Amino acid sequence: MAKTDTTHTGSPIAEKKPGSSAEKSSSLKKFFVDSLKDIHYAEEAIIEALTKMQEAATTEELKDAFEDHQLQTKKHVSRLQKVFGLIGEKPEKKKCEAIEGIIKEGEEIIKSTKEGSMTRDAALIIAAQKVEHYEIASYGGLVQLAITLGHDKAAELLERTLEEEEDTDYNLTEIAETHINLDAEQED
Ligand SMILES: [Fe+2]
Ligand SMILES: [Fe+2]
């Protein structure tokens, strides 16, 4: 019998059971898991990039900020691994082209600014904030998806990381505005 009946009324919202096995193979669940793999890859790449950014930074203040966030980022990775466990998935990674591009841009900034200059720090802060904003967008979406899919504990963990990314973004703005940008403005 040909399936000519294309009715779209077959999936009433009322059937949605958060966390039930019914959603396990859904497209949204698959997208959620893929997005987790994406940010898992990104976090690992960020740990590496932060070492280079730390070495390249001019001021101790910014070096320290990068070091602190690197430690935090390592926690983000282990938190993600917990999230994979909570939803019964393997903690895999999927190449994230976006973060590769953002990190590459950061490397270009290091090449194109003078070592020991405040301009380098001003530029590195913006590069780091681009990383944070990618993470904020990703975790913001992941928290919402986790809630929708009924993974409350996972949502809680993702939310904690989201808050740390937001704090980092805020701290970087503070560092830039207190003196780095002004000092950079005085340079040739
Ligand atoms: Fe992170
Ligand atoms: Fe971050």
The angle formed by the CA atoms of residues 122, 38 and 45, to the nearest 5 degrees, is 45
Q: What is the CATH number of the domain that holds 64?
A: 1.20.1260.10
Q: Which domain holds residue 29?
A: 19-186
Q: pLDDT of the chain along its 188 residues, tens only?
A: 444 444 444 444 444 455 554 445 699 999 999 999 999 999 999 999 999 999 999 999 999 999 999 999 999 999 999 999 999 999 999 999 999 999 999 999 999 999 999 999 999 999 999 999 999 999 999 999 999 999 999 999 999 999 999 999 999 999 999 999 999 999 98
What lies within 8 Å, CB to CB, of 165 at 6+ separation is 132, 135, 136, 139
Asked if residue 4 belongs to a domain, the reply is no
> Using CA atoms, how far apart are residues 185 and 119, in angstroms rounded to an integer?
8
Ligand positioned closest to the Cα atom of 130: 2
> Six-digit token pair at 3?
């399936």
Q: Which of 133, 74, 141, 146 is nearest to 99 (CA)?
A: 133
State the distance from the centre of ligand 2 to the C-alpha of 132, rounded, in angstroms. Answer: 5
State the distance from the centre of ligand 1 to the C-alpha of 183, rounded, in angstroms. Answer: 29
State the distance from the centre of ligand 1 to the C-alpha of 14, rounded, in angstroms. Answer: 35
Asked if residue 8 belongs to a domain, the reply is no
Cβ burial 6-28 (10 Å sphere, 16+ → b, else e): eeeeeeeeeeeeeeeeebeeeee
Asked if residue 1 belongs to a domain, the reply is no
Asked if residue 49 belongs to a domain, the reply is yes
Asked if residue 2 belongs to a domain, the reply is no
Length of the chain: 188
- DSSP state, residue 22: G
